[in-house]
């Protein structure tokens, strides 16, 4: 299968590209490198630098069997400060990609969406029938493109919209290197490595088992496996569209993650407690029953210590990509 991975130089994109190459697919990574890293592109893949709104995209997509669309700005706080930038990049750029795919005759798209489309859900675990009410512009941009993908089914384009919960961990070769870093596990590992003095804990008075927020962490390799299954689902169902949650169905509190990092690294991680962040839910845990029923996917690496250990091993071995 010939697959174009937009955003394939990013964290999750690098691992998805890696597993596609391991499967023997012909993979083209298309990335602007605004937030991605050239060193994070699997050497077996062809790399093309470019923006989603570039005229060359139609020619690049001709002959592709599918697109895995992962290119997006994705920092929630930044989206609140610069919503226009997020809508231009994620929505306008995404629509340009859909039109290029239609013009090139690409039959299917697997889309990297997010649990942020749910906002602050009233019930947990969250399934795909829960109302989608994003509480920040980032989630709103992802939901907007989900709606567009569903509408583009009328053109015969099949799509699977994968709503990630908290991606974490690493493969042997590729890991997480955001600048600045906003995700909990790599921030804690930076403290364990002596790169930061302390980690910040947002809110210790949530209505949870230990007062800290609970999130569903999913290993990035389990996410990558789901993309392979979603590609096959799309290939078998021309013009159909589906949305699936990707999570482990259980959650860990911030304090539990801190303790896991301390266990794995053998180092104390100082934490400073501050107030809650506006818009954060107390608990966000996925029900992934729908994708399990449809294609048999289930996470195989959901042990928290395994997730942290893989991220720590990558950090010690690689640490950061060159810029």
Q: Is residue 36 part of a domain?
A: yes
Kindly tell me if the per-residue pLDDT of 264 is higher than 70: yes
Among all residues, which ones are annotated catalytic?
Answer: 138
Q: Whole-number mean pLDDT of the chain?
A: 96
Task: Give the pLDDT mean for 205-228.
Answer: 97
> Which of 14-23, 61-70, 277-286 shows the lowest per-residue confidence on average (mean pLDDT)?
277-286
Confidence of residue 94 (pLDDT cuts 50, 70, 90): very high
How does strand 252-253 pair with strand 26-31? unpaired
Q: Which residues pair with 31 in a beta bridge?
A: 49
Q: Which secondary-structure segment (H or E) carries 307? A: helix 304-317
- For residue 279, pLDDT over 80 is answered with no
Residues whose CB falls within 8 Å of the CB of residue 216, separated by 6 or more in sequence, listed in order: 115, 125, 165, 166, 247, 248, 249, 250, 251, 284, 285, 286
Q: Which of 141, 138, 9, 16 is nearest to 74 (CA)?
A: 138
Confidence of residue 280 (pLDDT cuts 50, 70, 90): confident
Compute the distance between CA of residue 175 and CA of residue 232 in angstroms, rounded to an integer.
Answer: 25
Share of the chain above pLDDT 90, in %: 92
Q: Is the pLDDT of residue 234 over 70?
A: yes
Question: For 101-122, what is the mean pLDDT?
Answer: 96
What are the residues whose beta carbons fall under 8 Å from the beta carbon of 218, sequence distance 6 or more? 164, 165, 166, 167, 168, 246, 247, 248, 286, 299, 302
CB-facing half-sphere around the CA of 90: CA atoms within 13 A: 28
In this predicted structure, what is the pLDDT of residue 62? Answer: 98
Using one digit for the tens of pLDDT, what is the confidence trace for 156-192?
Answer: 999 999 999 999 999 999 999 988 888 999 999 999 9
The reported pLDDT for the residue numbered 14 is: 98
User: Is residue 278 predicted with pLDDT exceeding 80?
Assistant: no
Q: How confident is the model at residue 124 (pLDDT cuts 50, 70, 90)?
A: confident
Mean pLDDT of 15-37: 97
> Would 160 be classed as within a structural domain?
yes
In a domain, 201, yes or no: no
Q: What separation, in Å, do the N-terminal and C-terminal C-alpha atoms of the chain show? A: 31
Q: Residue 69: its pLDDT value, please?
A: 98
Q: Within a domain: residue 212?
A: no
Distance of CA 70 to the CA centre of its chain: 8
> What's the rounded Cα separation, in Å, for the pair 137 and 311?
29
Per-residue exposure over 265-275, b if at least 16 CB sit within 10 Å of its own CB, e if not: beeebebeeee
Q: Domain tally for the chain? A: 1
Where residue 224 sits, what CATH number does that domain have?
3.40.50.720
Distance CA 279, CA 276 (A): 9
Flag whether pLDDT at 323 surpasses 70.
no
Residue 26's Cβ-count burial label (10 Å; 0-12, 13-18, 19+) is middle
Region 238-246: what's the mean pLDDT? 97
Please, which residues have CB within 8 angstroms of residue 295's CB and are 6 or more apart in sequence? 229, 230, 232, 233
Helix axes 184-192, 304-317, angle to 10 degrees: 60
Quick check: is 258 in a domain? no
124-156 as b/e, with b when 16 or more CB fall inside 10 Å?
bbbebebebebbbbbbbbbbbbbebbeebeeee
Q: Is the pLDDT of residue 256 over 80?
A: yes
pLDDT value for 64: 98
Indicate whether 270 belongs to any domain.
no
Whole-number pLDDT of residue 180: 84
The structure's pTM equals 0.96
In the chain, what percentage of residues exceed pLDDT 70?
Answer: 100
Residue 277: inside a domain, yes or no?
no
Report if residue 121 sits inside a domain: yes
Domain hosting 146: range is 2-168+217-247
């Amino acid at each position: 299968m010939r697959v174009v991975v937009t955003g394939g130089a990013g964290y999750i994109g690098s691992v998805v590209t890696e597993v596609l190459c391991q499967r023997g697919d012909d993979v083209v990574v298309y990335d602007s490198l605004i937030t991605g890293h050239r060193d994070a592109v699997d050497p077996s893949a062809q790399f093309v630098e470019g923006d989603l709104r570039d005229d060359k995209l139609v020619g690049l997509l001709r002959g592709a069997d599918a697109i895995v669309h992962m290119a997006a700005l994705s920092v929630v706080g930044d989206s609140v400060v610069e919503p226009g930038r997020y809508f231009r990049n994620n929505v306008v750029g995404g629509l340009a990609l859909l039109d290029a795919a239609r013009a090139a005759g690409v039959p299917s798209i697997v889309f990297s969406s997010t649990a942020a489309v749910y906002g602050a859900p009233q019930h947990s675990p969250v399934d795909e029938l829960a109302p989608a009410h994003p509480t920040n512009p980032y989630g709103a941009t992802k939901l907007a493109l989900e709606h567009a993908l569903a509408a583009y089914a009328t053109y015969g384009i099949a799509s699977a919209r994968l709503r990630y919960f908290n991606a974490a961990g690493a493969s042997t070769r590729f890991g997480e290197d955001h600048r600045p870093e906003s995700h909990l596990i790599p921030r804690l590992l930076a403290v364990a490595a002596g790169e930061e003095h302390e980690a910040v804990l947002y809110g210790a008075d949530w209505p949870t088992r230990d007062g800290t927020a609970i999130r569903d962490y999913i290993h990035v390799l389990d996410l990558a496996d789901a993309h392979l299954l979603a590609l096959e689902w799309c290939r078998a169902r021309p013009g159909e569209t589906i949305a699936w949650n990707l999570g482990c169905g259980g959650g860990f509190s911030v304090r539990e993650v801190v303790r896991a990092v301390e266990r794995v690294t053998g180092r104390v991680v100082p934490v400073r407690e501050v107030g809650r962040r506006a818009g954060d839910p107390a608990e966000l845990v996925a029900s992934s029953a729908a994708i399990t029923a449809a294609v048999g996917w289930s996470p195989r690496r959901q042990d928290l210590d395994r997730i942290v250990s893989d991220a720590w091993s990558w950090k010690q071995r690689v640490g950061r990509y060159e810029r």
